Structure 1
Amino acid sequence: MDLKQLRALVTVAEVGSVTRAAEILHLVQPAVTRQIRTLEQEVGVPLFERTRHGMRPTEAGAHMVYRARRALHELERARAEIQPTPVAVSGPVTVGLLESVSDMLAEPLVSAVATEHPGIELRLVTAYSGHLRQWLDDEDLDLTLLYNLDNSQTLHTHSLVREGLWAVAPPTEKLLGDNPIPFAEVAKRRLVLPAAGHALRTLIDRAAGQAGIELEVAVQTNSMRVQKELVRAGHGWTILPGVGAADDAASGLLSAAPLCEPEIRRSVVLATPRGVRLPLAAQVVARSLIDQVHLAVTDGRWRSVQPSRYLG
């Protein structure tokens, strides 16, 4: 098993075609086919199914692709780290962004890194906090934004902001950002919420329990975009971080107001693995991400967080 075989395996899996993979790898098609067949002979199982729609990994192949991609990623990082007296920081860095803030932070982060450190290969992953935490624990991410993480034996965290949760309703409800709405009033409506166990849902359920309020959950979904679409369609109200509803409320697609009685807040942190030396490229990206959060707060783009709440 060698690097050429692993690169061929991953590339064919990504594009679904030996011909296209050969073009990307600057090889002839028979060479890529030979590398795949040699690898299959070595591991003793088929790695691809040849279908009319192209090359599709078998179950064993998908597992092999996952491991091969991680191995290649680590080798790329090692090569970047051991280059003697590098003139610039370089290497791959995989960053997790909360779905609620990805629209606000992704492009500024990419622009800043590309301008200051063009040798860094930035990879962005967006998801809910629970998924990002799992991927960081599995070492699929170098760093990530998380929320409501008070302490952890496996992660180092840097506090960034505290943000209030907002009630989000169809525009006909005419909720206003400068007119907070009591949590008990929101609880009278059918709600579209994340599934139980999700960090945001846990925060909402905890507040309801402390207030002695029972919630009527009409729909559960793991997508913030779907939450907002269902609210627009009249299936109920939802509760989101203010940043997740601000643009839709400003454009009239939804109406939204901060929760009160009680005010519910989430804390956003930057998390990295504890006890692991963070590569220089990842350190640079971490600092840039902190800067972008600070800028988003101070210039008013993160409207649900006051500048005085910035904790970085």
Structure 2
Amino acid sequence: MDFKQLTALVTVSDVGSVTKAARLLHLVQPAVSRHIRSLEEEVGVPLFERTRQGMTLTPAGEILTERARRALLELERARAEIRPDRGPVQGIVTIGLLDSTVEILAAPLVESVARRHPGVSLRLLGAFSGHLRQWLDDGAVDMTLLYNLASTPSISVTPLLHESLWAVAPPDADLAGAGALTWQHLTSRPLVLPVAGHGLRTLIDEALATTGVEPTVACQTNSMLLQRKLVASGTAWTVLPAAGIAQDVATGRLNGGPLTDPEVSRTVVLALRQGSRMPPAVEVVATEVVRVTRRLVENGAWPTARAADQPD
């Protein structure tokens, strides 16, 4: 396998067409087809299903494409790190962001890195904590936000902030007359919750267990966007960290407030792999994540949050 073959594989898988891939790669179509055919001959199995609708990866193709994507990313990182000039820090840094933090953190982080380190290129991946932890272990991301995690022999953790869980209600819900939003109050509503086994769902289940009431779970999903849409439509209520709904509450698309009795919070941390040399670009971006997050907490842009080093 060579660089050109792997690049052709990844590009065709992204666009679903040899013709479009050839255009993007500035190659003639037969050259791209030849790269794919050579790979298939080398591994001994088809990598694509060729249909009228385009090129679709086979199961074997999905496995090889995932590995090829990581290999190409590592080559890009290496090239950026070993450039001979001694100027500003350069490189590619991939960051995992918790879905609930994307809206509040992504834009200021990208702006800050671009202004302070213009030679650094960011790649942001959003997901739930379980996926992010797996991507960090696999080396698919250089660093990631996680929560309620302590350092381990393989992972270095920097606590960033503590934030409360909120009850999230439809926009027409009259919360002013409800008094404190308790978990007991929440169980009287149909709920849309993260799927069982998800880290946030574990926190929710532990809190609900203290009420002694079995909640009505109308739906389970692995999509925070779907949770918000179902609540906005009036279908159900849910529970999310405040950062994940701050903009929706501010614009009136959703309603909500901190849950009490018991109060439940999570600690958001920045996690990096240990045991290998940290490239300069990764180091400066990690510093920016800490700095930008702290600024958002201090100026009140991150609702209900307090810095991890701030006492209760």
**TM-score normalised to structure 1 length:** 0.92
Q: Is the 8 A contact 2:159 2:308 kept in 1?
A: no
SS at match of 1:4: helix
Q: Distance in 1 between matches of 2:300 and 2:224?
A: 22
Q: Distance in 2 between matches of 1:190 and 1:302?
A: 28
Query: 2:287 maps to which residue?
Result: 287
Aligned-residue offset at 1:254: 2.0
CA gap of 1:251–1:184, structure 2 versus 1, over 3 A, is same
Deviation track 1:220-265 (CA, whole Å, cap 9, x = no partner) reads: 1111121122122222221111122222222222221211111111
Q: Give the alignment of 1:108-123 within 5 angstroms.
A: 108-123=108-123
Query: 1:199 maps to which residue?
Result: 199
Q: Distance in 2 between matches of 1:86 and 1:236?
A: 56
SS at match of 1:101: helix
Structure 2 runs not aligned, ≥5 long: none
Query: 1:27 maps to which residue?
Result: 27
Aligned-residue offset at 1:213: 4.2
CA gap of 1:5–1:227, structure 2 versus 1, over 3 A, is same
Deviation track 1:84-114 (CA, whole Å, cap 9, x = no partner) reads: 3532322221111111110111112122222
CA gap of 1:215–1:225, structure 2 versus 1, over 3 A, is same
Q: Distance in 1 between matches of 2:170 and 2:102?
A: 23
Deviation track 1:183-224 (CA, whole Å, cap 9, x = no partner) reads: 222222222111111111101111223454433322111111
Query: 1:252 maps to which residue?
Result: 252
Once the two structures are overlaid, the 10-residue window that deviates more, 161-170 or 301-310, is 301-310
Q: Distance in 1 between matches of 2:235 and 2:20?
A: 45
Query: 2:84 maps to which residue?
Result: 84
Query: 2:14 maps to which residue?
Result: 14
Q: Give the alignment of 1:147-186 within 5 angstroms.
A: 147-175=147-175, 180-186=180-186
Q: Is the 8 A contact 2:183 2:260 kept in 1?
A: yes
2:296 is matched by which residue type in structure 1? A
Q: Is the 8 A contact 2:231 2:238 kept in 1?
A: yes
Aligned-residue offset at 1:27: 2.0
2:103 is matched by which residue type in structure 1? D
Q: Give the alignment of 1:21-170 within 5 angstroms.
A: 21-170=21-170
2:26 is matched by which residue type in structure 1? H
CA gap of 1:172–1:29, structure 2 versus 1, over 3 A, is closer
SS at match of 2:245: helix
Once the two structures are overlaid, the 10-residue window that deviates more, 193-202 or 237-246, is 237-246
Q: Distance in 1 between matches of 2:161 and 2:307?
A: 9
Q: Is the 8 A contact 1:162 1:267 kept in 2?
A: yes
CA gap of 1:215–1:33, structure 2 versus 1, over 3 A, is same
Query: 1:236 maps to which residue?
Result: 236
Q: Distance in 1 between matches of 2:309 and 2:249?
A: 22
Q: Distance in 2 between matches of 1:12 and 1:310?
A: 50
Percent identity for Structure 1 against Structure 2: 54
CA gap of 1:179–1:140, structure 2 versus 1, over 3 A, is farther
Query: 1:299 maps to which residue?
Result: 299
1:234 is matched by which residue type in structure 2? G
1:139 is matched by which residue type in structure 2? G
2:279 is matched by which residue type in structure 1? P
2:40 is matched by which residue type in structure 1? E
Paired residues in the alignment total 311
1:92 is matched by which residue type in structure 2? I
2:57 is matched by which residue type in structure 1? P
Once the two structures are overlaid, the 10-residue window that deviates more, 15-24 or 264-273, is 15-24
Aligned-residue offset at 1:14: 1.4
SS at match of 1:208: helix
Query: 2:208 maps to which residue?
Result: 208
Q: Is the 8 A contact 2:160 2:308 kept in 1?
A: no
1:296 is matched by which residue type in structure 2? L
After superposition, the CA RMSD in angstroms is: 2.2
Deviation track 1:162-181 (CA, whole Å, cap 9, x = no partner) reads: 001111112332225x9632
CA gap of 1:307–1:78, structure 2 versus 1, over 3 A, is closer
SS at match of 1:257: strand
SS at match of 2:257: strand
Q: Distance in 2 between matches of 1:93 and 1:33?
A: 31
Q: Distance in 2 between matches of 1:143 and 1:166?
A: 27
